[in-house]
Structure 1
Amino acid sequence: MSKKILMIVGDFVEDYEVMVPFQALQAMGFEVDAVCPDKKSGEQIATAVHDFETHQTYLEKPGHNFTLNADFDNIKTADYAALVVPGGRAPEYLRLNEKVLDLVRAFSDRPIAAICHGPQLLAAAGALEGKKVSAYPACAPEVRLSGGEYVEIELDDAICDGNLITAPAWPAHPKWLRLLVDRINQS
C-alpha cells in the first residue's frame, strides 16, 4: 500500500490541525499531499487559531498561511493510503462541494482521520453512519443526525472505529496520529 496521505483543507482550517499533522506525518516518512478545491499547488490558504478566553465559545484569531503542495483537480484517490480532514471552519463550507464529498467517499475502504470540525465533512459525505465518532462537542448533533454515535472523550484523546479515527481537538494529536499510522500499517 502507498505511503502517501491526502489532506483536504480550505481557508480558515484550524492552524494546528493542518500544520502539525502535515509536518509530523512527513517526519514519520509519509508523503503528504495537501489540496484545496479551486486552488493549485503553491497557492496558500489562510488558517485560524481557535482559542478560549472568557467567552462561552471559541474565538477565531488569524493563523499562518499554509502552502498547498498538490492540485485538487489532479488527485487520483487510488494513490493514497489514507485521508486526513483537519477541523476549523473549512469543513463547514467544503461539505457543500460535491467533488469534495465524492473524494471523501472514495476513501470508504481506507483510513480516514478527522479532528475537531472535520466530522462535519464526513457527515455530509455519509461516512459516519453506524460509527463511533468524536468531534468538537458543537458537532455532536451533526454526528448523531448523520447516523453516527457521538462519543464524548477528553480533548487529548482519540478513538478508532474500523478505519475511522476521530478526535475532539488538536490536544489529541499524539494519540490521533498514532491511531492513524497504526491503521495505515494494518491495511
Structure 2
Amino acid sequence: MKKVLFLTGEFTEDYETMVPFQMLEMVGYEVHTVCPDKKKGQSIKTAIHDFEGDQTYSEKPGHNFVLNYNFNDVKVEDYDGLVIAGGRAPEYLRLNDKVLEFVKHFFAEDKPVAAICHGIQILTAAKVVEGRKLTAYPAVQPEVELAGGEFQNIPANEAYVDGNLVTSPAWPGHPSFIREFLKLMGASIKI
C-alpha cells in the first residue's frame, strides 16, 4: 500500500484538507495527516474559504479535523507522495524547519507533490520552485515569482502539472488536482 504524507495545520482551508484526505483514502492509500506540535488524535480548526463576488475570498469557521499521525514520528523516506493543504496554515507552517526539510526531501527524490492554494507558500519557503511552472491562489503569485517560479494563471477549477509537482489555485480544482496527483502516484482508475 502506498503512503502519502499530508501536511495541514490550524485554519487550513476545510475542503482542501477534508476532501483530498478522503479521496486519497478512498483509492486505498495510507494517508498520514500531520501538523507540527500536534499528535495523533488531536484536532486542528479549519476555515471555509468561499468565493462570493468580493475582491478576495470570505472566511467562515469550518470543522475540527482530527490528525491521524504524530508529526514527530514522520520518516519522510517511508512516503511515496506529499500533499500540502492551503488556507492560512501555510503562513506559519513555512516557518517550521522540519516542514521545509520534508518538502525538500520529496523534491530531491523526485516523488509526487501536490500543493493547493496557499500551500504553495510552503514550497516557496523551501526554495524548491526555482525554474518550475506552477500555480497557486492569485495572491501568492508574487511569492512564486520572487522564488524563481513561473506562475501559471489558470482557472480555479483546473490544475497544473510540472514534472513531479501538481498545483491548483483553490478547492474548485479538486477533481483535476487529485486526478493529476493520482497519475503521478501511478494510480489507474478504470470506469
User: What is the TM-score of this pair, normalised by structure 2?
Assistant: 0.94
* Structure 1 residues 38-57: aligned runs within 5 Å: 38-57=37-56
Tell me how far apart the structure 2 counterparts of residues 16 and 82 of structure 1 sit (CA, whole Å).
Answer: 20
Task: Tell me the residue number matched to 1:125.
Answer: 126
Q: Secondary structure at the match of 1:117?
A: helix
1:139 corresponding residue in structure 2: 140
Q: Please state whether the residue corresponding to 1:178 is helix, strand or coil.
A: helix
The 2-side partners of 1:128 and 1:103 are apart by: 15
1:177 maps to what in 2?
Answer: 178
**What are the ranges of 5 or more consecutive residues in structure 1 without an aligned counterpart?**
none
**Alpha-carbon offset, residue 127 of structure 1:** 1.2
* Local SS of the residue matching 2:115: strand
Give the letter aligned to residue 149 of structure 1: E
Deviation at 1:161, TM superposition (A): 0.2
Q: What does 1:1-187 align with in structure 2 at a 5 Å threshold?
A: 3-108=2-107, 109-185=110-186
| TM-score, with length taken from structure 1 | 0.96
Matches of 1:88 and 1:139, distance apart in 2: 12
Q: Secondary structure at the match of 1:106?
A: helix
CA–CA distance in 1 between the matches of 2:147 and 2:157? 24
Question: Matched residues in 2 for 1:184 and 1:53: separation?
Answer: 34
1:15 Cα deviation (Å)?
0.2
Aligned-partner Cα distance in 1 for 2:138–2:54: 16
RMSD: 1.1
Q: Quote the Cα distance in structure 2 between the aligned partners of 1:142 and 1:40.
A: 30
1:55 deviation in Å? 2.9
- Rounded to whole Å, the distance in 1 between the matches of 2:24 and 2:64 is 19
Cα distance, 1:54 vs structure 2: 4.8
Amino acid at match of 1:152: N
Shift of 1:9: 0.6
Counterpart CA distance in 1 for 2:132 and 2:174 is: 20
* Aligned equivalents of 2:136, 2:154: Cα separation in 1: 9
Deviation by residue 1:21-55 (Cα, 9 ceiling, x = unmatched): 00000001111000000000000000000123353
Instruction: List per-residue Cα deviations over 1:59-107 (Å, max 9, x = no partner).
Output: 2110000000000100010111100001000011100111111111111
Identity %: 57
Q: Unaligned stretches of 5+ in structure 2? A: none
Separation in 1, partners of 2:181, 2:39: 26
Give the CA deviation at 1:57: 1.5
Give me the whole-angstrom Cα distance separating, in 2, the residues matched to 1:123 and 1:165. 14
